[in-house]
Amino acid sequence: MAKGKPVLEPRIYPLHRGPFLFAPHFLSKTNWFGGFESLISDVLETSDITGKILNPYDGRQALIEIGAVEMTVDGDGGVFCVDQLGVCGSNDDDSSRWSGPLAAPLQFFQEMDTDENVERLGSDYKNVCTFSKHLYQRMRNRFEKAIREGFAQIFASLDQPLNPLSSIEFHNLRHLRFVNVCRDTFLQEDFELDDAVTQDGRKAFGLGVSPTGLSSPTMRKRPGRKKQFKDADIDAEILVLLHKRGVPEQGMKWNDTQLVNRVMKALGSKAPRSGNTIRKRIVPAIEKYETTRKHVISSNSATKSR
């Protein structure tokens, strides 16, 4: 990229990111942290919770330390994430700390209520839940205000994916049935728009929110889903982690979610947008790992018996 060339941000964002992007004006990467730091500070104060607000990343992220827990508000992925204090900045091979839920807010709240996470958070569970729910409610209020005051508009292509965009009223969103998408992209921009079905059975494609005043998005192509990653690269990273950490187990410190996050981080800009792409390759990779491991053990045993 030539020096000094302006970076243009996309004009339509996934709907779930709306509360992360408007205050009620649109928050660019450069002014995002300032726009959220004051909100987070106010929520901590009104909730009577002690917390420390940090800015350790380069994008639309904030890290809040509450007791022995750190919670990340990731505006680029549109997700909340909670981990044991110290996971941010720790070595990827450090298995001494646990990682908790990573999901869009509504899914995040459900996962927080599992027995495993209640036990993990211990005495900090109540404060983290109270803070995250109050924060999300304030974020939604700002987003609704952005729509009412004209800072944001919601669009979708009705009936066919390439039809011209139609404006969707905010109060109609509650009547839509959304196609489920796993939102676990972390520290990366999530541009995958939603699909849904309206109350009268019409299909809504590419549902998203646009900051007004950038340009009229009356016609557009859906964001490209060009495959930048290679399956072989994913398999190689999974195998490296399997050799280092062993096979992940549900409910343990080393589980599928941690493996996916480590692979996403290792691949960097080449990582797929959704962690589901990596999850689908875990089982075949484990089978390959176990086959190789058995072969090595068998060869070693044969060598020793000679």
Greater model confidence, 39 or 295: 39
pLDDT at 4 exceeding the cut of 50:
no
> Could you tell me which residues are beta bridge partners of residue 80?
73, 103
Please name the amino acid found at residue 204.
Answer: A
Q: 1-15, 41-55, 99-113, 195-209: lowest mean pLDDT where?
A: 1-15
pLDDT at residue number 93: 53
pLDDT at 218 exceeding the cut of 50:
no
User: pLDDT class for 228, splitting at 50, 70, 90?
Assistant: low
pLDDT at residue number 142: 96
| Nearest-5° Cα angle at 72, 210 to 45 | 95
pLDDT by residue (tens digit) across 132-150?
A: 999 999 999 999 999 999 9
pLDDT at residue number 23: 93
pLDDT at 246 exceeding the cut of 60:
yes
pLDDT at residue number 21: 96
Cα separation of 18 and 163, whole Å? 23
Cα separation of 193 and 181, whole Å? 9
pLDDT at residue number 7: 42
Question: Mean pLDDT, to the nearest integer, of 3-31?
Answer: 78
Cα separation of 253 and 276, whole Å? 20
Nearest CA-CA partner of 128 in 210, 190, 66: 66
State what percent of residues in the chain have pLDDT above 70: 79
pLDDT at residue number 60: 92
Tokens of 68: 């022995």
User: pLDDT class for 269, splitting at 50, 70, 90?
Assistant: low
Cα separation of 174 and 140, whole Å? 14
Cα separation of 226 and 255, whole Å? 29
Question: Mean pLDDT, to the nearest integer, of 178-182?
Answer: 78
* Cβ-based neighbour number of residue 304 at 10 Å: 7
Half-sphere exposure for 100 (CA within 13 Å, toward CB)? 32
Mean pLDDT rounded to a whole number for the chain? 80
pLDDT at residue number 303: 53
Q: At what angle do helices 282-305 and 231-245 cross, to 10 degrees?
A: 50
Greater model confidence, 303 or 70: 70
Question: Quick one: DSSP state of residue 26?
Answer: B
Question: Mean pLDDT, to the nearest integer, of 97-108?
Answer: 88
What one-character-per-residue DSSP string does 100-148 give?
EEEE-HHHHHHHHTSHHHHHHHGGGHHHHHHHHHHHHHHHHHHHHHHHH
pLDDT at residue number 66: 96
Question: Quick one: DSSP state of residue 6?
Answer: P
Tokens of 220: 């557009």
pLDDT at residue number 251: 56
pLDDT at 188 exceeding the cut of 60:
yes
Tokens of 270: 């080449």
Coil, strand or helix: which one is 90? coil
Q: Where are the domains of the chain?
A: 18-88+96-146, 150-211, 231-301
pLDDT by residue (tens digit) across 57-83?
A: 888 999 999 999 999 999 999 999 999
Q: 26-30, 58-62, 151-155, 254-258: lowest mean pLDDT where?
A: 254-258
Do 271 and 187 contact (CB within 8 A), yes or no?
no
pLDDT at 167 exceeding the cut of 60:
yes
0.95 cut: is pTM over it? no
Do 41 and 22 contact (CB within 8 A), yes or no?
no
Nearest CA-CA partner of 173 in 191, 193, 155: 155
Cα separation of 196 and 175, whole Å? 10
Q: Which helix (H) or strand (E) holds 18?
A: helix 18-21
pLDDT at 235 exceeding the cut of 70:
yes
* Cβ-based neighbour number of residue 34 at 10 Å: 11
